[in-house]
Structure 1
Amino acid sequence: MEVMLLNYKDDFKMLNKDVIYFDNAATTFKPNSVIKEVNDYYENYSVNASRGDYDLSLLVDDKILNVRKKVAKFINAKSPNEIVFTSGATMSLNMIIEGFFKSYLKSGDEVLTTKSEHASLILPLFNILSKNGATISYIDLEDDFSVSLKKVKEKINKNTKLIAISHVTNVIGDVRPIKEICNLAHKLGILVLVDASQSAPHQKIDVTDIDCDFLVFSAHKMLGPTGIGVLYGKEKYLSKVNPIIIGGGMNAFFDSNKNVLYKEVPQKLEAGTQNIAGIMGLGAAIDYINKVGIKNIHEHEINLKKYAIKKLSKIKNIIIYNKDIENGIITFNIDKVPIKDVSSYLNKNHICIRVGSHCAKILSEVLGVNKTLRASFYFYNTKEEVDKFVDVLKVFNLS
């Protein structure tokens, strides 16, 4: 069933510019309500949190707690104490990998991941594994470059202690069977770290249902401000994370003899002045997504991709790497046409897409090409925009 969404131009100033924006996997436009919420903080209660006994500071404390509760509800966490505010998914991943798995993993232990993961997951893993003697192994991808439970099972062995994996990848866009992976992993005593940067903005996330141990995402990919992200962790593991950033706000006591007592989570992992304006903006972004409906967003993107694939397939020399993957990402190349020529021509026609390896550099070992073109949709994109996109690409249609 096709979902008909409203015209959102009144809510997004960026949608009134003369551009077609198909780079939503990189970041999304921000609605007026998010910008208003950020400005409201700076204009009306721009004071610090957790550091004052006066009314304005206590107001900020309440507002931050309310957003923490809102995030917990958005992903169905059991407690707001399982929600840590960070600068983004990259910081969240570094905090967990450096602050927990660096000591949790021992020499001879193995981490399972895939070659289609983002650098923000892979590189922190490389960093700790070079120090603690653990190893890394890659789950084989299916012929359509997706991950199946079968392939995960084939790679697990007695040394596997962690599966670190995206829920949805940023190049292929395949939706991994995370709930089934977590169920299998936990039966074998394996922990699961999930990068939800490409799924949280587009489909329902229920951390209690999928039972992952850690999960991260960024606000800016889901209508929110830049510089704010979320780290979710089961409280029993989150409490064991060593803070990699230490300072004010996260300690309960210290003295000149170097005796230090940290606060409980989440404050223990939120040193220094937080991005308060960003937190407020994240709360407003969740409100907006809830208003549109996460199910409606997901269905609209799937339908728009199907529509686009049908039209793009008429271009004879187009190579689409993920045409059968149900997601709002289309990754492609034009055979015999330099990738920069395609992107430059699209840019001249005010069409914004992503070009390159998309921070998933080792995917080229499987995909067979180093760089691709990526169009990625969100709920405010339309069939009319797809029509223009395809019409512009037709100039490269070689007989």
Structure 2
Amino acid sequence: MAYKTPAALYKMVPVEEALETVLSEVTAPKDSFWCPAGICFNHVLDEDVVAPLDIPDKPVSIVDGFAVVAGDPAKEIEICGESRAGHVDEKIVVERGKCCYVTTGAALPRGADAVVMIEDTKKVEDTKKVEVGANVLAMSAGENVRQTGSDMAEGECILRKGKLLDGADVAMLNSLGISRVHVFGKPVCAVMSTGDEVVDAGARERGRHQIFDANRPALKACAERHCSSVVDLGIAGDTEGRLETLVEEALEDKVDVLVTSGGVSMGDADLVKPFLEKRGKVHFGKVLMKPGKPLTFATIERDCGQKMLVFGLPGNPVSSYVTFNLVVVPALRKLAGWQKPLLKRLSAITADEIKMDPKRPEYHRVILSLPKAEAFAYSDPGASEASALALVAKSTGFQRSSRLLSLRDANALVEVPKGSGSIPAGSRVSCLLLPVSNATF
């Protein structure tokens, strides 16, 4: 079968140009909505959040002890009551010569301006007094006290628009009694595999020359952290009719991003590029990178004028994984309102020699970690002691694009420039941090 636009005729674009093209097609994030503060984690704020009250809203004790008047010269002070967190006797008034027992987090009674720690006092037997010695005399007003608004002040902007909300933000919002916030929505993504050679894991029947589909489950798992939902379209096989049916299904489901795996190379059964040429607009069909050269990006316009972004990823599982994280993830992030959607770039020192490819820049899978206690042997004789504190990038081994073991524990990609020879161990390199849950050092 001959195609009007065979894959061999596509211009190979640099990764930077590919990313710029993709992100230029994301003209606006998803519509914002009111989200309950308890479940707003990992959403991006669409408005500033201002504290509606002071935290704390009254002076409270930082320690267990006795609320006193700072500078009181008395060495024995009468206990005139107690104040416990959540229970305050409004009738209690502390003055010189008197104190009030307080627990951590309890409000200071009227008149008190400091708290002496309980371990700095001694109960006077058979009396309602405590011995404080010279402790209170030496105290200053405000000691061991959280003042009104000292944690968060009423009217203070505590979270800015564009903030990606994390667990600490959820805690802040709820501590202020804020029950909902305005956040950007997340995109809807769909994933599918192509190829007659793949079957689902656990399939009852598998032909002798068929393989289990690793790509679609992996892509679905990776997409879920960035999307409101991920639609599994299944396996399209190598028939254009089935491919067209699944794409139309994605369009009807108002999917924002469609990710396909396989069928983007140069064989006569690689149907994705020709179909996308016919159904939409292919923005690029080859990228100057290793792995992932056949990466394809297209847009299909709906009747309403909105576009569905379509990413045709290579069929090799490592190529699929790398291109998804490098190119698709920034698009998903921008749709979700991220202001800086690209993967974070870090500097690291190589633990191994890394060979370069003379034709294409490579994204070498590595495990970033903190250096060991012993000194690292640097190839650079001018390396400073500060270099010993740099992150270490350890290769995951043989980097063939079919070898899934090269992804095991990988949390970053070393940006290896094209060239002859290799990068020696101990060299400083640029790394892109993968958005994976095990990206810890």
TM, length-normalised to structure 1: 0.24
Which has the larger helix fraction? Answer: 1
| Structure ranking higher on relative contact order (CA contacts 8 Å, 6+ apart) | 1
Which has the larger strand fraction? Answer: 2
Structure with larger Rg? 2
TM, length-normalised to structure 2: 0.22
